[in-house]
Amino acid sequence: MTMYSSAAARNAGLTAEFLTLLGAAATAELWNGAFPVNLATPAGVRLATLNLGNPVGVVASGVFTLAAYTQTKLNHVNGTPTFVRFKDSSAVVQHDIEIGIGAGKIQYNGTVINNQDITGTFTITAPNPAA
């Protein structure tokens, strides 16, 4: 099945999935390891946990961009993240998203190093834009 969505529909989906669902005290965990299926327990190493702001990000033109976050850099583990695990304000897993290029993946280019702040942006582009 082929599906195309307007910018408004893509924005509404991203807003519901991230801004509304995650809430005011969500976290994003950066993991290195095999991507878990169906939100299963990860088999890998949690490199860092980011405490997300309120709102967790912004949505525009079918793209979600993670907003400011805080971190405890002394608790980081060195490594390159392969996926991000988003938990809502009740610590319930809502999303596991692979890091990579393309629709449906979170784009991030960087590594995690103990005692150094994580910098950069995280973006997700909603799939199937109408021309």
- Asked whether the bond before 129 is cis by omega within 30 degrees of 0, the reply is no
The ranges assigned to domains in the chain are: 7-36+43-125
**51 alpha carbon, distance to own chain's centre:** 12
Q: What is the pLDDT of residues 48-67, one digit of tens each?
A: 999 998 899 999 999 999 88
pLDDT band at 103 (very low <50, low <70, confident <90, very high): low
Q: Return the pLDDT at 104.
A: 65
Threshold 0.75, pTM exceeds: yes
Please tell me the least confidently modeled range out of 1-15, 34-48, 115-129. Answer: 115-129
For residue 99, list its beta bridge partners: 106
* Beta pairing partners, 27: 51, 87
